[in-house]
Amino acid sequence: LVSRMRPFTSTIFAEMSALAVRHDAINLGQGFPDSDGPESMLDAARAAITGGFNQYPPGPGVPELREAVAAQQLDDYGIAYDPDTEVLITVGATEAIAGAVLGLVEAGDEVVMIEPYYDAYAATVALAAGVRRTVPLVRDGDGFRLDRDALASAFGPRTRAVIVNSPHNPTGTILSDDDLAEIARLCVEHDVVAITDEVYEHLVFDGAVHRSLATLPGMKERTLRISGAAKTFHVTGWKVGWISGPADLIRAVRAAKQYLTYVGSGPFQPAVAHALRTDMDWVRADAEALGRKRTLLSSALSDAGFDVHRSQGTYFVCADPRPLGVVDGAAFCRELPARVGVAAVPVSAFVDDAGPWRHMVRFAFAKSDDAITEAADRLRSL
Ligand code: PMP
Ligand code: GLN
């Protein structure tokens, strides 16, 4: 294995899911829902398969999906993208991230990212032989905010891109308008491309509003905006993602993407187009249900003795087990499935500097109420 990939031999999600299976544990580790998306979308996928959509789709993605993606962004954020030149369908958000980084980052270029970061960012920057610069989230009441001084000092002459993930995996933080404005200011000042990972854009709670960085002044022309079907429509195995941005940046992403997978997910693309056009009410109802599940799991964790952080969106809530006498979150997660029959993931897998995050544990609540209630009972026995 090449040296730059040696730190990335196995993902924490695969490791913890394998432990969950081995111990028949309730899997609150890897972020996938335990129910499938809207029935009409599943029907549309079946119809696409029997209707002959089983060969290579067009390189940029099927036109109806590109059009549906552009229409949704116009409706939700007032951002207009040309579906022919400014939208690219990818094999999950993961390939959109990889295509953006591999298409834009020269060896030695720096990429700024928020810490904790989704693991694929670090691995992909390593694949591009880029250098990651991390900016920590810091405690703010029972939630988190960006460390603005660290943010400003992370930007410099070698900065090529910043990866911004809000709503944020793993903490469930929605970056404040002030944090977004500061990121935008730095991008403009240093002529940096923003790669925004917005896969949880619709999954926000308590009336919170998700703002897209691309809507800020000076940002649309320098932002690559990523989202996908996996989390929005409960189809993590379909691997349908997309990336939108100015045509010159999309051309760069497409150059890399066409040699990563060329194309993917043929019959699922029209099904996701159908869902974007007709199932957004399902998504809104799902976000409300997820908000309730967030509350159910958060109070169960609190009852079990954890210090629980506020999750404003996503599938996840983070909790501090130190009141239970636990200081090493990774060791705790490795023993949890055998001990009480629940799996979770340690936040230390998402950071460079484990220090402030060493104890912290992420739990996924995109599960049936029964699964959450049973997990809660088991955790109370800790
Ligand atoms: N970004 C974040 C923040 C994620 O949590 C995930 C997992 N859904 C991805 C990207 C990858 O998305 P996909 O499964 O569509 O590749
Ligand atoms: N996005 C999911 C999570 O954060 C997992 C995706 C994966 O297994 N790589 O749990």
Q: Ligand 1 center to residue 97 CA distance, Å?
A: 9
What is the model's pLDDT at position 23? 97
194 and 162 Cβ atoms separated by less than 8 Å:
yes
How confident is the model over 72-104, as pLDDT tens digits?
999 999 999 999 999 999 999 999 999 999 999
What ipTM was assigned to the predicted interfaces of this complex? 0.98
Residue nearest ligand 2's atom 4 by CA: 31
Ligand closest to Cα of 314 equals: 1
192, 237, 238, 196: which is closest to 215 by C-alpha? 196
Q: What is the predicted pLDDT for the residue at 353?
A: 85
Cis bond before residue 323 (omega within 30° of 0): no
Q: Does domain 39-279 have CATH number 3.40.640.10?
A: yes
CATH number for the 3-37+281-380 domain, one of 2.70.98.20, 3.90.1150.10, 3.40.640.10, 1.10.3720.10?
Answer: 3.90.1150.10
32, 117, 118: residue to mutate for ligand 1 pocket, most atoms within 8 A of CB: 118
Could you state, in order of their start, the residue ranges of all structural domains in the chain? 3-37+281-380, 39-279
The CB of 94 under 6 Å from ligand 1? The reply is: yes
Q: Which two tokens stand for residue 168?
A: 């944020």
Encoded amino acid at 101, one letter: V
3-class DSSP state of 282:
helix
In the prediction, which pLDDT does 10 show?
Answer: 84
Cβ(63)–Cβ(210) under 8 Å?
no
Show the tokens assigned to 363: 């739990």
Look up residue 265 and give its two tokens: 């997910």
Looking at all shown ligands, the one closest to residue 114's CA atom is 1
| Cα(271) to centroid(ligand 2), Å | 22
User: 165 forms bridges with which residues in the sheet?
Assistant: 197
Task: Please identify, by atom number, the ligand 2 atom nearest to the C-alpha of residue 119.
Answer: 9
Mutate to test the pocket of ligand 2, among 15, 30, 363 (most ligand atoms within 8 A of CB): 30
Q: What pLDDT digit, counting tens, does each position of 165-207 carry?
A: 999 999 999 999 999 999 999 999 999 999 999 999 999 999 9
pLDDT at 317: 98
pLDDT score, position 354? 86
Q: Name 242's bridge partners.
A: 89, 227
In which region does residue 224 sit, left (phi positive, over 0), alpha (psi from -120 to 50) or beta (all else)? Answer: beta
| C-alpha dihedral (290, 311, 77, 185), degrees to nearest 10 | -170
What atom in ligand 2 is closest to the CA of residue 169?
Answer: 4
Q: Which stretches of 1-128 are DSSP H helices?
A: 12-22, 39-50, 63-77, 92-104, 119-127
Cβ atoms 201, 340 nearer than 8 A = no
What token pair was written down for 57? 């789709």
Ligand 2 midpoint to CA 13 (Å): 6
CA of 314 to the centre of ligand 2 (A): 12
Say if pTM beats, i.e. exceeds, 0.80. Answer: yes
C-alpha of residue 93 to centroid of ligand 1, in Å? 5
Ligand 1 in contact with 90 (CB < 6 A)?
Answer: no
DSSP state, residue 359: T
At 27, which amino acid appears?
N
How many whole angstroms from 254 Cα to the centroid of ligand 1? 19
Spans of the chain below 70 pLDDT: none
Q: Give the pLDDT of residue 30.
A: 92
Q: Is 169 in the pocket of ligand 1 (CB under 6 A)?
A: yes
